[in-house]
Structure 1
Amino acid sequence: MTSFLDPVIAFVSAHPWAAYLTLFLAALLEAIPVVGALVPGSTIILALSALVPGGELNLWGVLAAAVAGALLGDGSAFWAGHRSQREILGAWPMSGYPGVMAQSEAFFIRWGTLAVFFARFVPPIHAFVPITAGALGMRPIRFYGVNIAAVLAWALAHVLPGVFAVSALHHYAGFPHHEHIGKHLWILAVFAAAIIALGVWTLRRRQARTGLRPGAGPT
């Protein structure tokens, strides 16, 4: 993996536009069924985010590229499942991964709306849950309401660790870095925690209000 990433990082360091495009494509491909299980999108995003403290890349540009790619990938997969319904789950290329498909379907049926949020952080089924949600009849407004929050939290969780780590290295080693990044990092970290907490609280409150329990299926 290192031998693959090293030339990529070297190239995008000299060509920022390529870095943002790479981030977008990594997030997009990681969200596509089957392809997402093969493309090291999370690793690429984490590696490129390390270029932010040195000024090679812009923090907001990195986040925007990752969020846009993930939203487009998840949304496309959901609509493919929504249009084709359940028959798409047994079609090629998903038919070549019966174990992962069964795991994804069981995960979604058990957790319903919660599955869309937390699947973003659970490889390899994160690439299969959106299409499963569409195929099993989840309403688009509900899917996007949860998916947008999940993607925002996912992007922050993948970008901030690399930025924090390299920022700390720059600080203790005396390397040049952008001072304003620190304030933005803490704001985004709090924002990420708030998104996750709000998502969990909202879903639990809804479950308590409607009497929905894990195992009740999608809504």
Structure 2
Amino acid sequence: MLRTAALDGQLSDFLASTGVVLFYLLVWALVFAGTALFLGVFIPFITGDSLLFGSGLVAASSSNLNIVVLAVGIGIAAFLGDQVGFLLGRRYGRGYLDRRGGRRTQLAIVKTESFYLKYGWWAVVVARFMPWARVFVPVVAGVGRMNYYKFLSSNVVGALAWGVGITLTGYYAAAIPGVKSAAYVIAAFFITASIVFGLRTWLADRAQTRLEAQTSTGPHNTLGG
């Protein structure tokens, strides 16, 4: 939660120096760019759960910010970001994903494809709470030619549950003392889950890489003997 507190302070400073309109636009733009422009691959903390929770905290402490405008705007930005990712995947296909980043990114894409194939419609919703999956699932769904209306419905549910839900959690954490502790626990759960998921993915990638290396060298050694 220290990182969330630091971001909260930065957002408060930004609001004080630029005003309400630019604050709204900054938060919405970061949420949109997190998936639409793959910004979440490089700076997931700035475009993910902590941004939403921190902006909710700032809204609760500022009489100038309207939490309804902020939360609805975040939900719309999240929705539009995934729509762009889906359309890019459908338009440009697997080659578009192949051009994304280095080896670590490619491993994340492979894991995301497996996640999407396993959970389908629910993958789009659940991926919202997983930093890497949040970025790639919409594109993978587009590449996989997921029915557009199914993606549309799952995207709406995910954008509301994640974008609006976590923003309101941050707001009520500060606005209602009685739920403050519970709200922080919920936010901590989401952020911790994101970190754990990323760590598990990294460890699984390393294990898979070692297994592939052993598999590839095994037959070669046998033939060489």
SS of structure 2 residue aligned to 1:145: helix
Q: Which has the higher helix share?
A: 2
Partner of residue 27, structure 1: 31
* Contact preservation (8 Å) 1:26, 1:45: no
* Contact preservation (8 Å) 1:13, 1:51: no
- Look up the equivalent residue of 1:160 and give its one-letter code: L
| Uncovered stretches (5+) of structure 1, i.e. residues with no partner | 173-219
Asked if residue 88 in structure 1 is aligned to residue 92 in structure 2, the reply is no
Partner of residue 85, structure 2: 77
Partner of residue 53, structure 2: 46
- Scaled by the length of structure 2, the TM-score of the pair is 0.68
* Contact preservation (8 Å) 1:9, 1:47: no
Asked if residue 150 in structure 1 is aligned to residue 158 in structure 2, the reply is yes
After TM superposition, give the deviation of residue 16 of structure 1 in Å: 0.8
Percent sequence identity is 22
Deviations 1:84-129, CA, capped at 9 Å, x for gaps: 1222221233766111101110000111111111111122211100
Asked if residue 103 in structure 1 is aligned to residue 111 in structure 2, the reply is yes
After TM superposition, give the deviation of residue 80 of structure 1 in Å: 0.3
The structure with the larger Rg is 2
SS of structure 2 residue aligned to 1:157: helix
- Scaled by the length of structure 1, the TM-score of the pair is 0.70
* Contact preservation (8 Å) 2:8, 2:58: no
Give the CA RMSD over aligned residues: 2.4
The number of equivalent residue pairs is 172
**Counterparts of 1:1-219 in structure 2 under 5 Å?**
1=3, 6-13=9-16, 15-32=19-36, 34-39=38-43, 40-41=46-47, 42-54=49-61, 55-93=63-101, 97-169=105-177
- Look up the equivalent residue of 2:159 and give its one-letter code: V
- Look up the equivalent residue of 1:25 and give its one-letter code: A
| Uncovered stretches (5+) of structure 2, i.e. residues with no partner | 181-225
1:44 to 1:171, Cα distance in 2 relative to 1, 3 A: closer
SS of structure 1 residue aligned to 2:36: coil
* Contact preservation (8 Å) 2:121, 2:151: yes
In 1, Cα distance between equivalents of 2:88 and 2:179 = 47
